[in-house]
Structure 1
């Protein structure tokens, strides 16, 4: 029963890795395409803003379609886009190659969990969602470092070529093994968008924007920080990112435990610890134990906040969980794009060594907002009662 879900989880790994792998490749792409690191960072912004602008609308529209054909089509789209990226001769073609998959990512991510529950049945819903989530988390914690190591060994284009092959291979596996399904209790297009009228829901989306803005103000350029400030070569940067990803599995476990107890408190707690990790990275660049500790704190909290933010929005709108998930994806990607822009400006105006402080400042704003939402939730519950 769970084999098709494992395949869907594996497909999710490829989809999410396509978005995030570029973070570890930015220095090499900038050198090869003869642009600045800040200009290369705009590729991250383009992908993220496209997801943010179109994600909820595309998810609400395509949620009525037969899921097997939909997921296979998304994977084939990713295969073509990654192939174009692998041969892109300039930054313009590369931008097109990043724009195309950005349209398919929110549709896949938001509907995958719902489809897994349809396959497994309501009695196994929790296990099904956990399996989908594992593929997504692995993409966020391992996709970037593996892509960086492949790039260092064979060139950055080879990373996109490998992702293209994987996308087509997984599309074939889904064609063979994924059963056909259409979600039976799909809310109407209008009723899904109605949840946006809720002020508390608007606050939750804004919280995702701030959290991911703070994260990616610094994380977008982490590979460049390790290269230029610590003096690491490409291989060592890749292994550092691998360690960053590995400790993220602990963050995923901790996030899963805390988010079920209190989603907003979990957000606040992990954000507080992330500030410490971000601020300490640059001062610890020339001390291996200190750098390892700061990257560990940052890596654990970042992975936890991916899961916590996703679950937090779904819990806030149980009547339309897939659409709520798409709102988190939109908010997160708006934050990712804004973070990449802010980080690029910080580098140009103040220097690479100030990124951690800039990111920490935005995370502090998210802590304040989480506190406001925690006081607003009981009042709304009282009003509804």
Structure 2
């Protein structure tokens, strides 16, 4: 079953690159569309809040459909929306181009994760999803940085145009090679899926995802701006630094996949504590090339680990409806992404760009405390 997981990981690369590519292109988009960087950052918020508001409902409803056709449809939707972004004449058309794919991301990511867990069983959920999420890490290692480099060379519109072609190519590959899989609507009704929301421990897990992602994206949304304005890098050098940032995420992804299978909440607390350190030192270290590289390496590794850890721990907290549980984490995480982009923009406007790391560290510190508190309670039996 290696080929289906590889294909889904490749599709996940395109899906997640669509969401996060804009992070590396924010300064250029802001200049071209005639808006401030914090206002351009609201495009990140729009995408994230749409995922948060619609993700669980769309995932529960789409669970009835045959997976192959569903995944191909999502990739075609992403191809069309990225083409619209490449051609957007103004801020509002760009906003529409960001809203449309946000409807498809939680459906794809949740059901692809469920498929991986079905193949290997819940005991190895972390390792299975780490293979699917390899596409996510590659989006950060190659997709976002190469998009930034491409945007610097030929403009940010070219980056979205290339991504549209990639999405179309992945749709064709899934249609040709992904095997048909059975639908699961008969096994889990909409009512039973939404019933898992009554669990207090699950509610705590979702709140933890909101806190973790709020902290991460208070700073990460404006990382390219930080490297340009505070470190004085040009667009090309920013792209290479973002590639290094993502590359160390391969290490974090591997470590997170193993740690979360042992103890999901302690893994979350541990990686979050390390992320706090990275966020606090990155701005003070910005004048030191070695210090900046080390701070960004720790930041990149722990952030990638927390993507995976957060996803798996919520799935494990909702064993009766794992795809719906995954969608709850995606909703909570994207709510945090949207809040983080807003918080970071407000910090820049009122306290200055150099303060985003400290505010982000405060939010991540709260997530450490919440994870340790939740670890006192007995997990839901699977």
Shorter-chain TM-score tier? over 0.9
SS class of match (2:357): helix
Q: 1:110/1:123 Cα in 2 relative to 1: closer, same or farther (>3 Å)?
A: closer
C-alpha distance in 2, partners of 1:85/1:230?
A: 29
Distance across 1 between alignment mates of 2:270 and 2:183:
35
- Looking at structure 1, the residues matched to 131 and 297 of structure 2 have their Cα atoms a distance apart, in angstroms, of 24
2:308 & 2:210 partners in 1: Cα distance?
14
Deviations 1:230-255 (A, max 9, x none): 10000100111111001111111111
Which residue of structure 1 aligns with residue 142 of structure 2? 142
What CA deviation, in whole Å up to 9, does each residue of 1:259-288 have, x standing for no partner?
111111111111111111011111111100
Q: Give the whole-Å Cα distance in 1 for the aligned partners of 2:117 and 2:317.
A: 19
Matched residue of 2:181: which SS?
A: coil
1:341–1:108: structure 2 CA closer, same or farther, 3 Å change rule? Answer: same
- In 2, Cα distance between equivalents of 1:264 and 1:117: 19
Cα–Cα, structure 1 residues 359 and 123, in superposed 2: closer, same or farther, change >3 Å?
Answer: closer
User: Does structure 2 retain, via aligned residues, the 8 Å contact 1:314–1:324?
Assistant: yes
Cα distance in 2 for partners of 1:369, 1:359 equals 16
When residues 123 and 212 of structure 1 are mapped into structure 2, their CA distance, relative to the original with a 3 A threshold, is: closer
Query: Hey, what's the Cα distance between the residues in 1 that align with 2:76 and 2:372?
Result: 43
Partners of 1:325 and 1:31 lie apart in 2 by: 36
What is the aligned partner in structure 2 of residue 18 from structure 1?
Answer: 18
Pairing 1:36–2:44 present: no
Q: Matched residue of 1:21: which SS? A: helix
Where does residue 103 of structure 2 map in the other structure? 103
Deviation at 1:121, TM superposition (A): 7.2
The answer for the alignment partner of 2:352 in structure 1 is 351
**Corresponding residue of 1:6:** 6
- Structure 2 unaligned segments of length 5 or more: list them: none
Q: How does 1:1-385 map to 2 (within 5 A)?
A: 1-116=1-116, 129-184=129-184, 186-375=187-376, 377-378=377-378
Name the CA distance, whole Å, in 1 between partners of 2:122 and 2:202.
28
The RMSD of aligned alpha carbons is: 1.8
In the TM superposition, residue 132 of structure 1 has moved relative to its aligned partner by 1.7
**Which has the higher mean CA deviation after the structures are superposed, 123-132 or 262-271?**
123-132
Residues in 2 aligned to 1:256 and 1:5: alpha-carbon distance in whole angstroms: 16
1:319 alignment partner, SS class: coil
Alpha-carbon distance between aligned partners in 1 of 2:322 and 2:346, rounded to the nearest angstrom: 36
- CA distance in 2 between counterparts of 1:123 and 1:203 reads 21
1:153 CA drift (Å): 1.5
User: Structure 1 regions of 5+ residues with no counterpart?
Assistant: none
Q: Structure 1 residue 139: deviation in Å? A: 2.0
User: How far does residue 138 in structure 1 lie from its aligned partner after superposition?
Assistant: 1.9
Instruction: Quote the Cα distance in structure 2 between the aligned partners of 1:316 and 1:305.
Output: 16
Contact 2:140-2:243 within 8 A present in 1 as well: no
- Tell me how far apart the structure 1 counterparts of residues 3 and 123 of structure 2 sit (CA, whole Å): 14
Aligned residue for 2:272, secondary structure, equals: helix
The question of whether the paired residues in 2 share the 8 Å contact of 1:78 and 1:164 is answered with yes
1-side partners of 2:115 and 2:157: how far apart?
A: 33
